[in-house]
Amino acid sequence: MSSELQDIVDDLAQRLDAPTVLEDHEERMVVYSSHSQPIDEVRRDSILRRATRHEVMTWFREQGILEAREPLRIPRQPGEGILGRLCVPVRHRGFLMGWLFLIDDDQRLTDTEVAVAHRAAGHAALLLYEEQLAARLASGALSHLLSPAEDLREEAAAQIADQGLLSGRGPVAIAVAQPLGLDERMARQRVSEALRDVARGVGSHRSLASGQALQLACTDHAVVLVRTGPGEGVAEQVADAVAAVLRCRVGDTREARVVAAVGDPQARLADAHLSYRQARLAAKVAGVVPSVGEVVHWRDLGVFRTLAMLPESAAESSLDPRVSILFAAGSAELVTTLEVYLDLGCDAKAASERLHLHRATLYYRLEKVARLTDANLRDGNDRLALHLGFKLARLAGLHPCPGWASGASDRSADVGTGPLIPRQMQVPETERAALGSSRAGRAQ
């Protein structure tokens, strides 16, 4: 579809000798012609960013482009870096699909040429409408395919096959991409924008461009179903491509980042929901444990696969009480030191370097942890219980240092101190008493 729109814009620009762009109803770039003539800052910015700045969008809408049903002239604004242009509304049966903008600063286009542009807009409107209908049909089918209801999944699989919504044969896998650190409204908007970009070929993997995938924009994440095969890595490449486009849409925001994940391939289309659940859980892990990477595969998550499937209520009750005692002590530096030490396989040299600590300071902190929790850090079972406790706490949102993960960067250990323990994780007095009795018994 995008290739046909590109042909319309290229042909129009060549016939009228006017640099041309097609934007959708939200002034996002769809396709653009080559630009051999001088262009203004607005055109250059919209091509590079694939979107119009808010203040420029507001100014254009003040010129009446939302209400226009016939071509209209947009006056030049030298102070704002805007050349004069012809705006041609792209409407299908009255519904606004977008606009064609042709730079025409000296207003040399004749009425006949404007009529040519108007007819081209009609062709573009039909294609955009068909693209919109196809996207809705595919998204609806994918939504039903991932439904908890088995009958809906089977019907959706039959619909996808019968209507040729997914080309090719072979196993399928689900990739998800999720922005973190955005409010719900912004996350949904950015996800929808990114999938539209992908559908129009922006940064797309070849599988997306060739129609071997279905897409769905959910509230806070993008879903892509793709044909895959053993050893091909197609789903991972698709996840990486979609995440890259989503990062561009999210922009350079310190509080936000994007993670992506892939579930295991499924032989039957109707079983794609299994891959989806795995991908969602894997994305959850990537979101709270940055050390696993920003594009992860369910099969590679090791023990996190087991931990991620625990319900939150079970996760809270499964925490080793010694982990809760350490959290309750309120020392971020002790928590951080022990987690890094365990993450690095109890390699004291590597932990000292990661934390920028003298080896003696590291040992001092570890001894302090052992005294506080009555844990034997030379015992494999104790180390395992503590290590799993840290990871489980992160996945359940109970970790007192949620913004820090040992594999994310070589941060200093100077993370401050203070009360860290959430109320729901405070250790019951009965457990404290039991641990105290255990300590006393060992001391005797």
The 10s digit of each residue's pLDDT in 387-425 is 988 888 888 878 887 655 554 443 333 333 333 333 333
Reported for 141-150, long-range contacts at CB under 8 A and 24+ positions apart, including other chains, are 141/165, 141/214, 142/214, 142/215, 142/216, 142/223, 142/225, 143/216, 145/214, 145/225, 145/269, 145/270, 145/272, 145/273, 146/174, 146/216, 146/223, 146/272, 146/273, 146/276, 147/273, 148/273
Range name among 60-69, 222-231, 278-287 with the lowest pLDDT average: 222-231
Per-residue pLDDT, 404: 55
Cross-sheet strand order for the sheet of 257-262: 213-217, 222-227, 172-180, 257-262, 295-297
Which of 433 and 73 is assigned the larger pLDDT?
73
Joined tokens for residue 396? 């359940």
Q: pLDDT > 70: what percent of the chain?
A: 85
Q: What is the mean pLDDT of residues 247-271?
A: 87
* Superfamily of domain covering 2-134: GAF domain (3.30.450.40)
Residue 410's pLDDT is 39
* Residues 352, 341: Cα–Cα separation, whole Å: 8
Angle, CA of 390, 259 and 219, to the nearest 5°: 105
Stronger pLDDT, 167 or 286, i.e. the higher one: 286
pLDDT for the residue 150: 95
27 DSSP assignment: S
Where do we find the tokens 């599988």? 207
Contact between 351 and 360 under an 8 Å Cβ cutoff? The reply is no
Say if residues 114 and 9 touch (Cβ distance below 8 Å): no
Q: Please count the residues of the chain.
A: 444
Report the sign of the C-alpha dihedral through residues 419, 423, 425, 429, in that order: positive
What's residue 254's pLDDT? 65
- Say what angle helices 321-328 and 380-395 make with each other, to 10 degrees: 70
Domain boundaries, the chain: 2-134, 171-298, 312-443
Q: What is the CATH number of domain 171-298?
A: 3.30.70.270
pLDDT tier at 373, thresholds 50, 70, 90: very high
What does the pLDDT average to over 431-436? 41
Q: Does domain 312-443 have CATH number 1.10.287?
A: no
86-122 tens-digit pLDDT = 999 999 999 999 999 999 999 999 999 999 999 999 9
Res. 201: pLDDT tops 70:
no
Q: Are 194 and 239 in contact (CB under 8 A)?
A: no
Rg (CA), the chain: 28
pLDDT at 432 over 50: no
pLDDT higher at 345 or 318: 345
